[in-house]
Amino acid sequence: MSIPVNISASRGAGILGLSKWSTPVQEFLKIMGEDWCIKSGYEFPVVEYSSVMRWGHAFESAIIELAESKNNSKIIDREKLFEKDFISCHIDGYYNFSNPKFITTRTLHEGKTTSAFYFKDNFGIPGTDQVPIEYQIQCQHQMICTGAEKVILSVLVFPKMVDEWESMGWVADKNISGEYRLFKDKMEVNPIEWAFILNDMGYFHQYEISAHPELQKLMIEKYTSFWNDHVLTGIPPKPKSYDDIKALVREPVGTIIADEEITNLMAEYKQIKQELGSSGNLSNRAEMIKVEILNYMRDKEKIDDDDSQDKFILRGQDGKRLASYSKNKKGSYVFR
């Protein structure tokens, strides 16, 4: 079996189960590749190139110029690839310090953009290592691959969310020369101009992430288990979300008989859904139960049943229908 990609820095938090935006199943499917997913009957996760990504790419060079100015150092080796066994990363760059204080320290540059709303709730005091866990993992991953001792994480904060800027008519895109610019009507602005204005307004911050040997050791152990147990075997990790289930079960067929534990969970699920809305802790509990029940249905041996074509049906020990996983009128699979 040919494996097209390694475990990259951006996949680390998802693989470790520490990401708000991804799960081990989703990262597994990305690593295995679209052709393998199609052959195996799984849904390949398609990542939309969003406006947030586009604005982030537009400001990459601007953040580097700000970081160079703040640290009195050039940033070299931009987008250089590093590989170590089945782990890899593309770095944003290395600081080429001339200051004797830093000469013995290999320091990476990592640049990010975010909104003031996200920054306020997810970042700590500048100059510390108080950054979102996804970024902490990404930086430690890069240091594993490169042997660097430190990452300076530079964060450019937009006072408004990207969607708000775009609703005002601003668009981040490449011009005819292939350079990123900000466009509004007939106006074309270099993102560097915006970045330095935002810096003067106090919207540029830096964080110092030092190598954490114990954390890196645990990460390598988890990565190794993930690689050996899932990537090399082609066996997906245990689903963590409803989206995971939908990606792994593309054409459900069969009737499953629930054991006592699943029957009790189904009763709890129905009670929660009857009494509560779609938010709150109990709603989260209902989502967890749904995933556990669907995972049970996916794993258990199915029996022949004329009623269970193109769907999963869950029945109790008495034969009573408890739930199903089938297509709705829009053609999407739903649990009900």
Report the 3 state secondary structure along 223-269: HHHHHHHHHCCCCCCCCCCHHHHHHHCCCCCEEEECCHHHHHHHHHH
| pLDDT > 70 in the chain, percent | 90
**207 and 155, same structural domain?**
yes
Q: Cβ(335)–Cβ(294) under 8 Å?
A: yes
**In the prediction, which pLDDT does 108 show?**
96
Query: Within a domain: residue 197?
Result: yes
**169 and 89, same structural domain?**
yes
Query: Within a domain: residue 22?
Result: no
Q: Which of 67, 72, 81, 70 is nearest to 8 (CA)?
A: 81
**321 and 256, same structural domain?**
yes
Query: Within a domain: residue 25?
Result: no
**279 and 151, same structural domain?**
no
**270 and 164, same structural domain?**
no
* H or E element, residue 321: strand 321-327
**In the prediction, which pLDDT does 120 show?**
94
Residue where a domain stops, chosen among 147, 181, 212: 212
Query: Within a domain: residue 40?
Result: no
Q: Cβ(247)–Cβ(29) under 8 Å?
A: yes
**204 and 87, same structural domain?**
yes
**197 and 57, same structural domain?**
yes
Residues of the chain with pLDDT under 70: 1-4, 97-105, 250-251, 276-281, 301-310, 331
**295 and 207, same structural domain?**
no
Query: Within a domain: residue 145?
Result: yes
**208 and 63, same structural domain?**
yes
**In the prediction, which pLDDT does 207 show?**
98
Query: Within a domain: residue 10?
Result: no
Separation between Cα atoms, residue 129 and residue 151, nearest integer Å: 10
Q: Which domain holds residue 276?
A: 251-335
Mean pLDDT of the chain: 87
**89 and 176, same structural domain?**
yes
**74 and 204, same structural domain?**
yes
**In the prediction, which pLDDT does 159 show?**
95
Separation between Cα atoms, residue 63 and residue 61, nearest integer Å: 5
The count of domains in the chain is 2
**193 and 103, same structural domain?**
yes
